[in-house]
Amino acid sequence: QYDDLPWIEGSYNPIPPHYYGLSYTTFQVDHYDGFIPATSGNQSAMAFGGSGNITIPDSPPHGTFDLKSFSYACIAGIPQPECAISIWGFRTWGRAKTLHTTITFPRIDPGHIIEDFKMNKTEFGREWSGLKSLGFAIARKDDGGDMYGGLMLDDVKYVVNSGK
């Protein structure tokens, strides 16, 4: 999904504001380095440090987005413990203004060929609609400790709803 964006080795490669209708905070473009490939092309969105936000701009007013799915991976090297990815959705209407779920990326053990490591995919139901923003954070699944790595996303599927 992010293959249309520039990437320069050794540089900070931010995802531009309003990229296909959304803005990314702390995520940047990352290029395949031989570890876990992106699900489409050679580039993905990476939040080094494991936390980041995706938001819809305030203009037009009342704009929202409906989250459908994305591919994901925790990137902390080998070996790597199971990674818990917390996801928060924020909206301005409905009973549940804050949504939360946690998904897991499996542990990575030595002894596998590098091609064994792949991104996982998750889908979201209609309750993840009318969003103003998403927040992400990663932690070790076993004890909640720091992962010292990054959160990799690709093929983020969503629908942007215009303000009324």
Q: Considering the entire predicted model, what is its pTM?
A: 0.91
Domain ranges in the chain? Answer: 23-161
Q: What's the pLDDT score for residue 143?
A: 87
State pLDDT tens for residues 9-25: 989 999 999 999 999 99
* Rounded Cα–Cα distance for residues 24 and 14 (Å): 8
| Range 53-75 average pLDDT | 89
* pLDDT for 94 beyond 90: no
Helices and strands per DSSP (H, E), number in the chain: 0, 10
Q: Do 79 and 149 meet the contact criterion of CB atoms below 8 Å apart? A: no
3-state SS assignment for residue 36: coil
CATH, domain 23-161, list 2.40.50.100, 3.40.225.10, 2.60.120.1350, 3.30.70.520: 2.60.120.1350
Band of pLDDT at residue 164, cut at 50, 70 and 90: low
* pLDDT for 81 beyond 70: yes
